[in-house]
Amino acid sequence: MRRSIFTAALLGVLSPVALLQGQRPVTLGLAGGVSLPQGRFGDGVDPGWHALATLSLGSQLHLHPLALRLDGAYNQFAFAGTGGGTVGGAPVDGSQRTISVTLNPTYRLPSAGWPLAPYLIGGAGAYNLGCAGDATCDATTRFGWNAGLGTKFAGLRLRGFLEARYHRVALKGGDVHYFPLTLGLTF
């Protein structure tokens, strides 16, 4: 009887320490996925792909739901139609690209005992829009913002996240907005 009480007490004292060791204040992440263009932007380009690198700073205390994330992303969208598109009536094999650096606060939603940890994310930053491949266009850097929903997960010795965000960049000739669906790993 004494042995089981001692074991239970020891586990009760050590389990919060183990939880804190599993939560690091700084995490790195690499991710990628499909990017879906929206609105008038979607009329000129096909769905594309993206790569994302992230640096997250959060609290080691599980009770604090806020974190801050710095994201660097590269999105590429082929011009609509087969073989790229046309510029001035001539066929062009190229694509529209967006390079962004954004600062994004995250808010972890309550998930008592769930294997997933859902969160809200939103932020703003610099978006550089230009062309890739044979296409030529004037590159421009503009302010943009994003908002979305994601979830962190852990299993099979892997830590990762899955998220969907809406990005919008204001331009004089028409706004650029797209919806990346992202799957990533954190380290």
Q: What is the pLDDT of residues 50-76, one digit of tens each?
A: 999 999 998 765 668 999 999 999 999
- Residue 147: pLDDT band (50, 70, 90) is very high
- Give the residue among 86, 91, 79, 76 at the shortest CA–CA distance from 44: 79
**Domains present along the chain, CATH in parentheses:** 25-186 (2.40.160.20)
Q: Is the pTM here over 0.75, yes or no?
A: yes
User: Phi then psi for 110, rounded to 5 degrees?
Assistant: -60, 135
Residue 185 above 90 pLDDT? yes
- Give the residue among 180, 184, 110, 120 at the shortest CA–CA distance from 154: 184
- Residue 9: pLDDT band (50, 70, 90) is very low
Read off the pLDDT of residues 14-54 as tens digits, 9 standing for 90 and up: 334 334 344 578 999 999 999 999 999 999 999 999 999 99
Type of residue found at 22 = G
What span, in angstroms and rounded, lies between the C-alpha atoms of 104 and 113?
26
State which H helix or E strand residue 8 sits in. helix 2-22
Residue 134: both structure tokens together: 């044979």
Residue pair 31/172 in contact (Cβ under 8 Å)? The answer is: no
Read off the pLDDT of residues 83-135 as tens digits, 9 standing for 90 and up: 544 545 555 678 999 999 999 999 999 887 788 999 999 999 999 999 988 77
- Give the chain's mean pLDDT: 84
Type of residue found at 92 = V
Question: What is the sign of the dihedral through the CA atoms of 60, 61, 67 and 73?
Answer: positive
Percent share of the chain, pLDDT over 90 = 63
pLDDT of residue 149: 98
pLDDT of residue 20: 37
